[in-house]
Chains A and B, each alone.
Chain A
Amino acid sequence: MTAPHTTAIGRPDAGGGAPITTTIRIRLRTPARLRNLELLLLLVALGVGASAIALVDLGALGELDGAMLTLAALPAGLVLVLHVVERVVAPEGDPFVVPIATALTGLGIAMIHRLDIAEGYEGWSAYAVRQAVWATIAIVLAITGLVLVRNHRVLQRYRYIAMFLGILLLLLPVVPVIGETGANADVWVRIGFFSFQPGEFAKILLAVFFAGYLVTARDSLSMVGRSFLGLRLPRARDLGPILVVWVLSMGVIVIQKDLGTALLYFGLFLVMLYVATGRGSWILIGLALFAAGGWLATRMLPYVQGRFANWLDAFNPEIYDREGGSYQLVQGIFGLADGGLIGTGLGQGRPDIVPLAESDYIIASLGEELGLIGLFAILSLYLIFVARGFRIGVAGQDDFGRLLAVGLSFVVGLQVFIVIGGVTRIIPLTGLTTPFLAAGGSSLVANWIIVALLLRLSDAVRQQPHAVVESGGAA
């Protein structure tokens, strides 16, 4: 391969002036190159996961008990199947998202396995065993999604169905019979033996809806309205959608007692609205609305007050000791502190002291045993993952695809911020899962579906002739 071609490969949007022949040659060569890069990264990611599980065995048991490693080979094998499927149905998909999701899922399984050992869970009651099975299911669903959805624009057609399904899923936990009241937030649904967190799926459906809706409605949302103090204020009737989403978020806070989910959806909507319309006034209106709602909630809802008190005054013995107090928060921080810069080493710390160490608090567990260095590595992985999604947003041709990519990747980034920010006391602690890492099938499946969608969207970007990239980018 000659040098000019290589230049064009890394930046498909930069080759607009190149002769047609060059473009064709690149299109013939690039897929194999991208997929080979992905395969290389994938092998590294699988290596990271496998060695983490092995180190947990050695650190916590003192010997290599291969059972977990054997079981984890199942999702690992399926990730390779996904890779092969990509070569056929999404040859130009982004080469980073799958390796990153694989590495994080592997690290998650390793840490959950470590906590199982500490708690003495074995067999089917071991969270890690279930997590590995869920990872398998999640990857199968990702493969299925990638094969079925060959053109993402189809999704735009179903935007209102997505909205109804999304809202329905959000409301499920409060439906009598099937809704489950958990420790804090009512975010679980149980049907027979099967229980899941519908909110995790709702975030995808809502992203689809927001993208579809905003693409059609953004002209009226961005063009009309009076200017005031340098801001172009929207017309009163255009306030409808944001008010609906606001009411929905407040409903989640009040009825489901779930601060984190509400923040997640509202933040998602606000960012997508801003990206679609380019109007800063929406951000201000949205923040004002959420601040007002949040302020009302802190005044009227005892559980929100409790969360704020735990956050602001965590080390106060009174708050630490009381029911629903800051015990978990403080113990998580102690765990992190014990990890220090380099961590205690896998299997060598005491992450099991913190309640819910394998789900809500997995990041504190990882921070304790892998140290600040390990946390920075994990944060970098998330940041690259989100950046890959934003890249689609920059380079994409159709605005629906661009918005959807931005929405899906932003929601992952925001969720990471809400969880880790809660654990480390940047914001009040809320019960969300850390994407890919935390124990829980719903979260794992939902996030792997996001992986599949990002693959599909990024493949679509690169499948386009470069000339279209140029014109599409002007929107």
Chain B
Amino acid sequence: MNKELRRVSVLLLAMFLALCASTTVIQVVQQEQLQADSRNTRTLYASFSVERGPILAGDTVIAQSVPSGDEYKYQRVYPQGELYAPVTGYFTIHGENTGLEGSLNDYLSGRANQQFLDRLNAILTGQNPRGATVQTTIDPVVQQAAWDALGGLQGAVIAIEPSTGRILAMVSTPSFDPNLLAGHNQPTVIENYDKLLAADGDPLINRTIGGALNPPGSTFKLVVASAALQSGDYTPESQLPNPQSLTLPGTSTTITNSEGGACGGGETVSVADALRYSCNIPYAELGGALGYDAVDEQARAYGFEDAFAVPMKVTPSVFPEPESDAQLMLQSFGQGNDRVTPFQMAMVSASIANGGQLMRPNLVERISAPDLSVLEQFEPEMYNRAISSGVAASMTQMMVANVASGAASNARISGVDVAGKTGTAQNGTNQPHTLWFTGFAPATDPKVAVAVVVENGGGQGQSGFGNTIAAPIAKKVIEAVLNR
């Protein structure tokens, strides 16, 4: 009987060891994976119950947690919701968090690795854990100016400090009120979300870094001009063919310059003048002569095709490989399959403004723990040397002329040299244009690089132009920076 008992004891011990193993697997081995499961409401409650850190722009609080008195303990509040929605995103019980609320969730909720000791300390002392404070690089004055300048138009503005990459303004319209999605009543939140999802102009999309990208139009000529100068085969004075119209090779498609007619009076036109008057034909010829690889290499040097994180993920802008020479020529003045974000076009201007060095753009100045110790501090970092300083100087000159005596006249500011380039991109036969401006100022000592996009023709169908609608917006944003 004792022999059997020993065997049964071994069986029982094995059963208990199996229980030890299964609990260990769940509670330790698979813990992170289980906590990350979207059906795990505990993680949600936990992330709501910590006093989430605030998000600041300058001294302005743009997101903060206040005691809510319900089971989630805290309510997230966005004091100027619509204005800062592209920056903050929203913190919601329904689905994914967006904006900084999403990409810096670990810091804001106190779960980042650097906060481990604080978390442990909070457990030991019985205090409620608190999340870190995120100080953004956004300048509230510039942000407000960009918002006001866009008015009711559908579009986006981004402003970058060229020497550091700090993002000073990030506005996308129409916007939404994140407070609508931060509530604790799930049916209401879902209803609000569905409404916003169905609303005109896709308010939930941050157009500065994503959404359905727009063709860059003539602003892309900056890339082609850079490629030409960078190649060493061209100078700003190099002459390009200047016909009144051009039938693209292998097709019956004819292209013209936007004003019709030739670009200036001569048989040929210089690279600089063709940019100043924003002529399509010379740049189509220039792009065709340089070839796809050269232009593509330049585009990538400016950040095309790369996924940036600011820390939100940025949709890469594209200059896709054309199927034919005709396509390449179309793409060389920003039509065809080119698709870009304002973020990308601002980086082009910022590179030129910064002597050819592209600084990696970022939205976060500092992340600090509740005890004010700094967890992360923004350090300017070079992404790439996009062009040589000589080419940058030439490009600056051409862009200043473009504003001073060319097609971007509405960005002029008295007493300040503004460098800029407009764009008016076609979207199809009867579709309204997309209007662009990108540039920087002051040309001699650049403080800000901007990109403005206005979609839907700025409400004027095919009769609006980059210079008439986008350039004045950029001007106001630049003024806001320079007047500080």
Contact = CB atoms under 8 A, between A and B. Distances in A.
A278 B3 contact: yes
A382 B16 contact: yes
Interface stretch (B33-41, B96-104, B174-182, B276-284): B33-41
A383 interface: yes
B27 A350 contact: no
A367 B23 contact: yes
A338 B43 contact: yes
Contacts of A338: 35, 40, 42-43, 46
Interface string B1-43: 1111101110011011011101111111011001101011111
B84 to A, nearest CB: 32
A271 B45 CA distance: 46
A20 B12 CA distance: 37
Given A338-B46, A372-B23, A426-B18, A406 B5 contact: yes
A202 B31 CA distance: 39
A140 B335 CA distance: 89
A115 interface: no
B4 A278 contact: yes
A330 interface: yes
A420 B19 contact: yes
A393 interface: yes
Interface in A161-198: none
Contact of A379 (B2, B3, B16): B16
Contacts of B8: 271, 274-275, 390, 406, 410
A353 B30 CA distance: 20
Interface residues of B, number: 35
Contact of B19 (A379, A386, A402, A475): A379
A46 interface: no
Interface in B415-436: none
A475 B26 contact: no
B239 to A, nearest CB: 65
Contacts of A330: 39
A337 B34 contact: yes
Contacts of A349: 42
Contacts of B5: 275, 390, 393-394, 406
Contact of B42 (A278, A353, A382, A420): A353
B26 A337 contact: yes
User: Which among B3, B22, B41, B43 has the highest number of chain A CB atoms within 10 Å?
Assistant: B22
A340 interface: yes
Contact of B16 (A271, A333, A417): A417
A473 interface: yes
Nearest to B6: A394
B3 A340 contact: no
A473 B31 contact: no
Contacts of B43: 338
B4 A336 contact: no
A95 interface: no
A276 B1 contact: yes
A334 interface: yes
Nearest to B45: A350
Contacts of A371: 27
Given A394-B2, A425-B22, A339 B27 contact: yes
A375 interface: yes
A426 B22 contact: yes
Contacts of A372: 23-24, 27-28
Contacts of A350: 41-42, 45
10 contacts: A334-B37, A335-B42, A353-B42, A376-B23, A390-B8, A393-B1, A406-B8, A417-B15, A420-B19, A424-B23
Interface of B: 1-5, 7-9, 12-13, 15-16, 18-20, 22-28, 30-31, 34-35, 37, 39-43, 45-46, 123
Given A393-B1, A394-B2, A420-B23, 8 more contacts: A274-B7, A275-B1, A275-B4, A345-B123, A386-B12, A421-B22, A424-B26, A426-B18
